[in-house]
Amino acid sequence: MTNPAQARSIRRCAVVGGGIIGVAVARELANKLDGAQVTLYEKEDKLAAHQTGHNSGVVHAGLYYEPGGLKATLCRRGVGLLQEFCAAKDLPYDACGKLVIAQTPEEARRLDNIFARATANGVPGVRMLDAHQIGEVEPNAVGLSALHSPETAIVDYGAITNALADDVRVAGGQIRLGQEVTSLEQQASGVVVHTKNGGEHYDLVVACAGLQSDRLAAATGEPKTPRIVPFFGQYFLLGPEARNQVKGLIYPVPDPKHPFLGVHLTKRIDGEMMLGPNAFISFGRESYSWKDVNVRDVLNYAMFPGFWNFARQNVPSAIREFQTVVSKKKFIREAMRFVPSLEGATVVPGTRGVRAQAMNGDGSLVDDFVIARRRDTVLVRNAPSPGATSSMAIAEYIVEQALAG
């Protein structure tokens, strides 16, 4: 329940980060706080420049997440909010559906557990399919069994972010591009946001800094862990001759022995069909090509014991992912496990993204959303997939918690 007295005392708010979560938070603040001044800081010269603008565009339905956890709750709420927003703004929203396909009896057993979670999470229309029924949904797909989520959708998260930003501006908020926040300084009351241009005082600050979230948290006085370790993900695009082999999304069954999902097929909102992504250590938090090496970022994880603990625990995964990094054929062979008719298909490089993977000192990966409160500052320290799907629900959650006092 929102505290009216707390809401009245917040007249100036700042949001750090112009990805979809940051912009959604700014919009929620502008909508909830009548007359308050809302300012969003983004260090790049455009919004959605990093994770938001380089992801797959999937609106996740909530299949995998622990029932009752923050991911499950906010994902399901987020889907509804995104759907309503896209309809109101006339933005594309394609419920193309998704198959998670098991190829072995062991994968089929794990898939049954995922179905149980999806059912507990209230995912609409979800059902199990046998080998014959797979072909009724995806004529070119094969497998032992599959989970079908007919309402899993695809969108353009960059376009959604810009539409959210338009609402911020209409409500009187400011969006300051090209302004990097260097630290947040808690005062007796309120917080000073520091940039290279000086400092400004706000009653409430919400930091949604994504790939830089741990650094900003540390500069605010918070613990340095969980640490962000960047992993790049490369997508390839199927050639036009093979693009229509798949109607929607086809995913493998997650393997608990591997920290990352592996190659899958994802329809894009513009009609392209993507293969990928793989996942391998990146040479920088914002490095989108092999030539772009950020020595500071590399040293940051190279000197972090948690990274080496993770590496020792995941040698087989590293070998698997490296094979897809160096070989397009390996990419296609992985996809052919599910769609054999892709043999001989051409592929061209597509989007490369960098994932902000939060990691603990023991090398374990942080799975759920992590949102920390430090007096007048809220820090989003981990918002992995389904972060974009959940963005508007995360914004609701953050603002409700902040205004509750």
pLDDT in tens, 101-134: 999 999 999 999 999 999 999 999 999 999 999 9
Predicted pLDDT at 263: 86
Both 277 and 231 in one domain: the answer is yes
Both 120 and 44 in one domain: the answer is no
C-alpha–C-alpha distance, residues 230 and 99, integer Å: 28
Both 166 and 315 in one domain: the answer is no
Query: With 0-12 CB in 10 A as exposed, 13-18 as middle and 19+ as buried, what is 273?
Result: buried
Q: Which helix (H) or strand (E) holds 333?
A: helix 328-336
Residue 56, number of CB atoms within 10 A of its CB: 21
The DSSP code for 366 is: P
Both 221 and 231 in one domain: the answer is no
Both 169 and 142 in one domain: the answer is no
Measure CA 72 to chain center.
Answer: 14
Both 245 and 330 in one domain: the answer is yes
Both 314 and 384 in one domain: the answer is no
Q: Which residues contact 230 (CB under 8 A, 6 or more apart)?
A: 211, 281, 282, 284, 285, 287, 297, 301, 354, 355, 356, 357
Predicted pLDDT at 273: 95
Is the separation of the CB atoms in 23 and 397 below 8 Å?
A: no
Predicted pLDDT at 2: 55
Is the separation of the CB atoms in 29 and 399 below 8 Å?
A: yes
Predicted pLDDT at 256: 86
Q: Which helix (H) or strand (E) holds 41?
A: strand 37-42
Both 236 and 310 in one domain: the answer is yes
Any domain includes 236: yes
- Select from 324, 342, 359 the last residue of a domain: 359
The ranges of the chain with pLDDT < 70 are 1-8, 326, 405
Q: How many structural domains does the chain have?
A: 2
Both 195 and 322 in one domain: the answer is no
Predicted pLDDT at 6: 61
- List the CATH number of the domain containing 192: 3.50.50.60
Q: Residue 290 sits in which domain range?
A: 95-152+227-359
Predicted pLDDT at 326: 65
Predicted pLDDT at 3: 62
3-state secondary structure of 35: coil
Both 221 and 273 in one domain: the answer is no
Any domain includes 67: no
